[in-house]
Chains A and B, each alone.
Chain A
Amino acid sequence: KNQVEQSPQSLIILEGKNCTLQCNYTVSPFSNLRWYKQDTGRGPVSLTIMTFSENTKSNGRYTATLDADTKQSSLHITASQLSDSASYICVVSGGSNYQLIWGAGTKLIIKP
Chain B
Amino acid sequence: SQTIHQWPATLVQPVGSPLSLECTVEGTSNPNLYWYRQAAGRGLQLLFYSVGIGQISSEVPQNLSASRPQDRQFILSSKKLLLSDSGFYLCALGLYEQYFGPGTRLTVT
A residues sitting closer than 8 Å to B (CB atoms) are 32, 34, 41-46, 49, 89, 99-100, 102-105
Contact = CB atoms under 8 A, between A and B. Distances in A.
Given A42-B102, A42-B103, A104 B96 contact: no
Interface in B21-75: 42-46
B51 to A, nearest CB: 12
13 contacts: A42-B102, A43-B90, A43-B100, A44-B90, A46-B97, A46-B98, A49-B96, A49-B97, A89-B44, A100-B98, A102-B43, A103-B43, A105-B43
A44 B102 contact: no
Interface of B: 4, 42-46, 88, 90, 92, 96-103, 105
Interface of A is mostly: strand
Contact of B100 (A32, A44, A104): A44
Most chain A Cβ neighbours within 10 Å, of B45, B97, B100: B100
Nearest to A43: B100
A100 B43 contact: no
The 5 lowest CB-CB distance pairs between A and B, nearest first, are A43-B100, A104-B43, A102-B44, A102-B43, A43-B90
Contacts of A45: 100
Nearest to B91: A43
Contacts of B42: 104
Contact of A41 (B43, B100, B103): B103
B63 to A, nearest CB: 22
Contacts of A32: 96
